[in-house]
Amino acid sequence: MIAFILFRSKKYDLLYFYNPRWTDTLPSLILSSWLGRKTVVDQTELFSTGKNKKIHLSEERLVSKHATKVLAISKSIQKHFQSSRNDKVELFPILVDFNRFDIKQTEQQFLMGYIGSFAAKDGVHLLLDAISLLIPQLPQIKLRLIGHNPKLQELVEEVASRNLADHVEVTGTVTFQDIPCLLKECDTLIMNRDSSAFSSFGYPIKLGEYFACSKPVLMSNGGGFSDDFEDGNQVFKYTVDSAESLSNTMLYRYDNAEESDAVAKRGYLFAKDHFDSRTVGPLVVKVFREI
């Protein structure tokens, strides 16, 4: 990367960096700045709110100092970087290609879906707890867990040890092309985050994909991105870190089918207005051209 910046980067009008850190591209960002290259940093997480705070704070200070332009995925990250920048930190929201999800796929009733990472902030074990609580009242319920998990075998073993094998499907890593089908087969999608500070600063890209599927979304009510949505309007909210609340919200969704369909439609329309790549993409290109 250093060699690339030194010998090949001059031919580019703009260099794009994604969440630069000491362990990956931050040294290259600093070098680019020293060489007079124009750079843009896309900041989608605030790592200083998690572990190794001092190290990550140093990264964020250097990003603010050396980036020609900083883009922030959420208002909270935007506010954090704006305090140390003279120019405007641009809000760069999640982008969704709605055409990807414009497919016909048979929906499986009582199949709930989750896609994404399996880090601590995602609280996947809470989903298993909620399903366990719901099974006596809704024995048909099933949960599909989609995505790469470095501890996949441990999760599979936990599902088996909790006697949930008939109710929980663990797909592991899937292809980009398979995602629309896997999500649209579900009749409900879950957007869970724990109550940690780290969780409240990002903005999950999968949320836009959920809305593009036009399915009811169940969302934890922690701070951050969830503040953009109203319970019973675009989503159904439940108490963060509470398996009982999630289980009750799952049951409410199935007991109120017409209301759930209306919530799904409003969520879809919200995402079309705020996350459609055909609408938001040109605004970002405009920022690039101005740089």
Residues 109-141 have pLDDT tens digits of: 999 999 998 988 888 999 999 999 999 999 999
Q: Which two tokens stand for residue 276?
A: 């459609």
Same fold, 2-92 and 98-274: yes
Question: Which pLDDT does position 68 carry in this prediction?
Answer: 97
Q: Which two tokens stand for residue 182?
A: 């896997």
Domain 98-274 class, CATH top level? alpha beta
Answer for the pair 146, 174: CB distance below 8 angstroms, yes or no: yes
pTM: 0.91
Distance between CA atoms of 131 and 244, rounded to whole angstroms?
10
pLDDT tier for residue 247 given thresholds of 50, 70 and 90: very high
CATH topology of domain 2-92: Rossmann fold (3.40.50)
The alpha helices in the chain, defined as continuous H runs, are 2-7, 26-34, 53-66, 75-82, 124-134, 152-161, 179-184, 197-201, 205-212, 243-255, 257-274, 277-290
Domain ranges in the chain are 2-92, 98-274
Distance of CA 164 to the CA centre of its chain: 26
